[in-house]
Amino acid sequence: MKRDEAMKLATDGFQALSDSLAQGKSESLVTYLSAMAQFHNYSFRNSLLIFKQRETATRVAGFRQWQKLGRTVKKGEKGIGILAPLVYKQSKDDQPKKAAKAATDVKSSEKEIRGFRIVHVFDVAQTEGESLPEFTGIEGEPGQWLLWLKNIVSRAGIEVQYEDDLDGAEGLSRGGRISILSSLPPAESFYVLAHEYAHERLHKGTRRKETTQKVRETEADAVAFVVSKAIGLDCQNHASDYIQLYHGDVDTLQESMHFIQKTAADMIAALQEKAKQSEAMEDAMGEVFDRHEAQYKV
């Protein structure tokens, strides 16, 4: 594949993603976000309490929150105890009496925490009922493309590691090292590796200080989408939803067009070169096999 052909694929993928973003949030993303809003971000102390009582906990919510999501706690399940603040409204005598106090300050002092109490939450594995909405997935089979992408990343001097737990992430770019969740299916593994490799190429130098998280995530996922689409994976809805999770949109995409297209084209060209080398090797091996077979024919 020539360079201009790789750039054509990158341009076509970029336009497809731009069109998808222009349509706004998908119904599946809206449903997913609505469900995720039911889960609290617990403090470090409560997170530690949850872990100590149930190491395998993933999504945790109270009894009523689970009911709102169409699920009920299984009979006999033991709740996970966490600390909830006891919030009281201050009496007038307790409130600041300084005349110079701003109205906002007085309002903020009307309530105070006077201790904590134990409340119980439950992990999703302790519940049953309707399935929780899942983030849009990636369909397809990368085959040898995944192996070739790993090789390209490694030859760039970046170590690729597979880990069983990444604290909720599927992949991490660590500057010269990429970590991928080992349990991912091949299609998702390819996509995540392309995403993190894009981070390594675009956001580990001086540009990091010049970009926001929204821009960085938009660029990385746009590159992953374009490259994944080029090898035949179905990931358009996934990319559009992911970028919008970080509040990215068509304008964000357009502003980063040069970086996205160039990085994606480079990766596509490198993958096609790997495919070409593999095909040449297979042809050479086939010729050797044919010669050996001809020697032993009667």
Average pLDDT over residues 183-192: 96
Residue 172, phi then psi, degrees to nearest 5:
-140, 135
Angle formed at CA 60 by CA 82 and CA 190, multiple of 5 degrees = 135
Q: Rounded distance, CA 227 to CA 30, Å?
A: 26
Average pLDDT over residues 74-92: 85
10 Cβ neighbours under 8 A, 6+ residues apart: 226, 230, 260, 261, 262, 264, 265, 268
Return the minimum-mean-pLDDT range out of 50-59, 111-120, 236-245. 111-120
Average pLDDT over residues 217-229: 96
54 Cβ neighbours under 8 A, 6+ residues apart: 80, 123
pLDDT at residue 282 in the model: 58
Q: What percent of the chain has pLDDT over 90?
A: 58
Look at the block and give the residue holding tokens 């991490």: 172
Q: Rounded distance, CA 215 to CA 208, Å?
A: 10
Is the pLDDT at 99 greater than 90, yes or no? no
User: Using one digit for the tens of pLDDT, what is the confidence trace for 131-176?
Assistant: 887 778 899 999 999 999 999 999 999 999 999 988 778 999 999 9
Q: Rounded distance, CA 257 to CA 154, Å?
A: 26
Give residue limits of the domains in the chain.
3-26+136-283, 32-129
Q: Rounded distance, CA 61 to CA 51, Å?
A: 14
pLDDT band, very low/low/confident/very high, at 28 (cuts 50, 70, 90): confident
Average pLDDT over residues 58-87: 91
pLDDT at residue 285 in the model: 55
Mean pLDDT, the chain, integer: 86
- Determine the 3-state secondary structure of 181 from DSSP: strand
Q: Rounded distance, CA 223 to CA 242, Å?
A: 13
Return the minimum-mean-pLDDT range out of 1-5, 42-46, 85-89. 1-5
Angle formed at CA 217 by CA 191 and CA 238, multiple of 5 degrees = 45
pLDDT at residue 112 in the model: 79
Average pLDDT over residues 92-106: 48
Is the pLDDT at 298 greater than 60, yes or no? no
